[in-house]
Structure 1
Amino acid sequence: MLFKTALLALAAQGAFAEIVAYWGNGGYTEADGNLADWCKDKEHIDILVLAFLTNFGHGQYPNGNLGYCQINPDGTSSGCEQLEQDIATCQQLGKKIFISMPGSEGDFGLNSKGDAEGVAYSLWNSYGAPNAVQDKSKRPLGNVRIDGWDIDIESNPYDEDGKGYLGAMLNKLRSYFEADTAHKYYIGGAPQCYLNHDQGKNMDLNMGNSINQAKYDYLWIQFYNNECAATHAYDGSNQFNLNEWPGVIANGASKNAKLYVGIPGNKAEAPEYVPTAHLADVYNAAKGVEGFAGFMVYEVGDTKSVVVKNGCDYFGQIYSVLTTGHLC
């Protein structure tokens, strides 16, 4: 009976655990291929995050490259027809599609609450459902309706003083969601895992204020390029700190956010790559943490260099760990 109960508990957790993956990396790469390929052939991926709108704020229309699709500063687009079709295909297959901004490079900043709310206006009217936005809005992806927006800020030149412009942008963006009751929209974020223990375990200056001030539905935390990397879940250092995150966000607007362990797609992307042999170790360290909801991988094309074992690629191995507790 105890064995059966344990299996049911594991199955229940696996049913709610998800895999998130970034696609596009701010420009076209052959390894990334077409977005639809990752939806048709990688049934284990639940959310695909398109990267990146690198430029926004200071009156700019949010622009950048989503893979091979260029979103121009004037709200037009170039080479995006395939992506428009692929987004529709992925959504028909039950995948959620997010657009990410700004990534590690770009021209971005918010110099006032009005500037922040202007960006939110552009994001909603450009990518919300066509029948729920302002007439004659700029629609660089045509009638595409995305499922959510992702914030991945590696440096934050405008929010260190706590003015909260990023939080204001996200709160304004969320206020538009009620205009389309037929669909559910989400806000995700990819903060660094680092917590400043000298300042009361505060989150990093890049995103910490906004996480407290605005509601994020998902936090796929970057457990790489930091001393709290996921590799420390199994090296004996005890520096993997997912268990601290529920307490850190408990009193802010994102207190109910789902938490994901973000890992790189291969060693070339970041030295803290988690080999398949250690995925179960990371899962075992994370599964008991309140709010743990799965893994995020940055990014899809990188995983093609990972050796397939027992018919399972990197995403297949992650899915197996989430649903069974062990590798394929």
Structure 2
Amino acid sequence: MGRLNQTIFKINIGCSPDDSDGNEGYTEADGNLADWCKDKEHIDILVLAFLTNFGHGQYPNGNLGYCQINSDGASNGCEQLEQDIGTCQQLGKKVSISMPGSEGDFGLNSKGDAEGVAYSLWNSYGAPNAVQDKSKRPLGNVRIDGWDIDIESNPYDEDGKGYLGAMLNKLRSYFEADTAHKYYIGGAPQCYLNHDQGKNMDLNMGDSINQAKYDYLWIQIYNNECAATHAYDGSNQFNLNEWPGVIANGASKNAKLYVGIPGNKAEAPEYVPTAHLADVYNAAKGVKGFAGFMVYGVGDTKSVVVKNGCDYFGQIHSVLTTGHLC
């Protein structure tokens, strides 16, 4: 396999302003969304987190950084974000919205409920000229590029997860209404594969990955025994090579695979130091469908400068395109 000719990063840079545990590593010091789009030429996709609540008849709501989306479709403090999304798209970046996150309060109790959520997501964030008149538009005329599914628990019954695929299939069906733009669906499953339960897939997202087409899978290769740090510690537990086989017979068989790593040392003990980025790349580069890295949270990435002005993202870009650090 030759060098990657496309390097894509997913970077989560949003959180609730009262998030005291720093899950997303986002503070005012990290700057606005547009700052990252202007300064980071190697970041291709930026993901805003999270719409934590949806389903059971509730309108998708949550906090995207300091932008609050309410359950009635109204919003507070979102003016800057609206401007920044437009700036990022003008600079060639893709911007998506993630839901529901590890603390999400969601549930889907029927196919109709699931398709109702899809209706709300499309009409709220698709291109204004391709949606229903008088739709709720919490970000005004902003059009986002995609939706990211990050489910790490399910507070409702187990059967509710079975409707997630229906939600995504309905959402994708709306894309045909706006052929002028390309929309995508991404997912962030845990790397742990449930071999002992015979499912060989993330318990919370596995069914939907098989039932609905994900364009990207940003696999969370941290906080688990299959963490990216195991790509170079001699344990042989880094398992990206198993994923092509796991998805081979489902709707997401052609999904691009990304190595998800934390961008903040405080977020996970499996933070990959700059010196080991090439080791992770070397372990992943031969895997079918491997397409790049996802970095969860900005955190410490701004302070990592090794040489030639390369911060953490610059180092990842160098590894992906040359095989070695800057």
Q: TM-score, normalised by structure 1?
A: 0.91
2:6 matches 1:13: yes
- Which secondary structure state, in structure 2, belongs to the residue aligned with residue 195 of structure 1? coil
- Cα drift, residue 308 of structure 1: 4.3
Deviation digits for residues 14-65 of structure 1, max 9, x if unmatched?
699xxxxxxx967962243200000000110000000000111111110111
CA RMSD for the aligned pairs?
A: 2.0
User: Is contact 2:230–2:236 with CA below 8 Å preserved after alignment?
Assistant: yes
Runs (5+) with no aligned partner, structure 1: 1-7, 17-23
Structure 2 residue aligned with 1:174: 172
User: Is contact 1:222–1:262 with CA below 8 Å preserved after alignment?
Assistant: yes
- Cα drift, residue 106 of structure 1: 2.9
Structure 1 residue aligned with 2:61: 63
Structure 1 residues 105 and 276: alpha-carbon distance in aligned structure 2, compared to 1, 3 A threshold? same
- Cα drift, residue 309 of structure 1: 3.5
User: Is contact 2:53–2:100 with CA below 8 Å preserved after alignment?
Assistant: yes
User: Is contact 1:214–1:254 with CA below 8 Å preserved after alignment?
Assistant: yes
Deviation digits for residues 204-259 of structure 1, max 9, x if unmatched?
21100100000000000000000000000000000000000000000000000000
- Which secondary structure state, in structure 2, belongs to the residue aligned with residue 174 of structure 1? helix
User: Is contact 1:159–1:206 with CA below 8 Å preserved after alignment?
Assistant: no
Q: Whole-Å Cα distance in 2 between the matches of residues 250 and 109 of structure 1? A: 28
Structure 1 residues 25 and 229: alpha-carbon distance in aligned structure 2, compared to 1, 3 A threshold? closer
Q: Whole-Å Cα distance in 2 between the matches of residues 299 and 80 of structure 1? A: 20
Structure 1 residues 169 and 302: alpha-carbon distance in aligned structure 2, compared to 1, 3 A threshold? farther
Structure 2 residue aligned with 1:254: 252
- Which secondary structure state, in structure 1, belongs to the residue aligned with residue 160 of structure 2? coil
Structure 1 residues 106 and 183: alpha-carbon distance in aligned structure 2, compared to 1, 3 A threshold? same
Structure 1 residues 14 and 306: alpha-carbon distance in aligned structure 2, compared to 1, 3 A threshold? closer
Deviation digits for residues 98-156 of structure 1, max 9, x if unmatched?
10001111321111111111100000000000000000000000010000000001102
Structure 1 residues 278-289: aligned runs within 5 Å:
278-289=276-287
Q: Whole-Å Cα distance in 2 between the matches of residues 302 and 154 of structure 1? A: 24
Structure 1 residues 91 and 13: alpha-carbon distance in aligned structure 2, compared to 1, 3 A threshold? closer
- Which secondary structure state, in structure 2, belongs to the residue aligned with residue 40 of structure 1? helix
Structure 2 residue aligned with 1:302: 300
Structure 1 residues 263 and 111: alpha-carbon distance in aligned structure 2, compared to 1, 3 A threshold? same
Structure 1 residues 142 and 162: alpha-carbon distance in aligned structure 2, compared to 1, 3 A threshold? closer
Structure 1 residues 74 and 273: alpha-carbon distance in aligned structure 2, compared to 1, 3 A threshold? same
User: Is contact 1:294–1:322 with CA below 8 Å preserved after alignment?
Assistant: yes
- Cα drift, residue 158 of structure 1: 4.5
**The 10-residue stretch of structure 1 (253-262 or 162-171) with the greater mean CA deviation from structure 2:** 162-171
Structure 1 residues 163 and 229: alpha-carbon distance in aligned structure 2, compared to 1, 3 A threshold? closer
- Residue number among 60, 78, 83 corresponding to 1:80 in the alignment: 78
Structure 1 residues 25 and 122: alpha-carbon distance in aligned structure 2, compared to 1, 3 A threshold? farther
- Cα drift, residue 201 of structure 1: 5.4
Percent identical across equivalent pairs? 94
User: Is contact 2:105–2:155 with CA below 8 Å preserved after alignment?
Assistant: no
- Number of residue equivalences: 314
Q: Whole-Å Cα distance in 2 between the matches of residues 53 and 136 of structure 1? A: 21
Structure 1 residues 26 and 111: alpha-carbon distance in aligned structure 2, compared to 1, 3 A threshold? farther
Q: Whole-Å Cα distance in 1 between the matches of residues 217 and 238 of structure 2? A: 16
Structure 1 runs (4+) deviating above 2 angstroms are 8-16, 24-28, 156-163, 304-310
Q: Whole-Å Cα distance in 2 between the matches of residues 315 and 13 of structure 1? A: 14
- Which secondary structure state, in structure 2, belongs to the residue aligned with residue 164 of structure 1? helix
User: Is contact 2:107–2:160 with CA below 8 Å preserved after alignment?
Assistant: no
**The 10-residue stretch of structure 1 (105-114 or 27-36) with the greater mean CA deviation from structure 2:** 27-36
Q: Whole-Å Cα distance in 2 between the matches of residues 218 and 11 of structure 1? A: 16
Structure 1 residues 13 and 35: alpha-carbon distance in aligned structure 2, compared to 1, 3 A threshold? closer
Q: Whole-Å Cα distance in 2 between the matches of residues 180 and 253 of structure 1? A: 22
Runs (5+) with no aligned partner, structure 2: 10-21
Structure 1 residues 25 and 34: alpha-carbon distance in aligned structure 2, compared to 1, 3 A threshold? farther
- Cα drift, residue 202 of structure 1: 1.6
User: Is contact 2:226–2:237 with CA below 8 Å preserved after alignment?
Assistant: yes
Structure 1 residues 194 and 11: alpha-carbon distance in aligned structure 2, compared to 1, 3 A threshold? closer
User: Is contact 1:27–1:68 with CA below 8 Å preserved after alignment?
Assistant: no
Q: Whole-Å Cα distance in 1 between the matches of residues 25 and 226 of structure 2? A: 29
Q: Whole-Å Cα distance in 2 between the matches of residues 27 and 266 of structure 1? A: 7
Q: Whole-Å Cα distance in 2 between the matches of residues 327 and 27 of structure 1? A: 25
Q: TM-score, normalised by structure 2?
A: 0.92
- Cα drift, residue 10 of structure 1: 2.2
- Cα drift, residue 301 of structure 1: 3.7
Q: Whole-Å Cα distance in 2 between the matches of residues 108 and 42 of structure 1? A: 33
- Which secondary structure state, in structure 2, belongs to the residue aligned with residue 105 of structure 1? coil
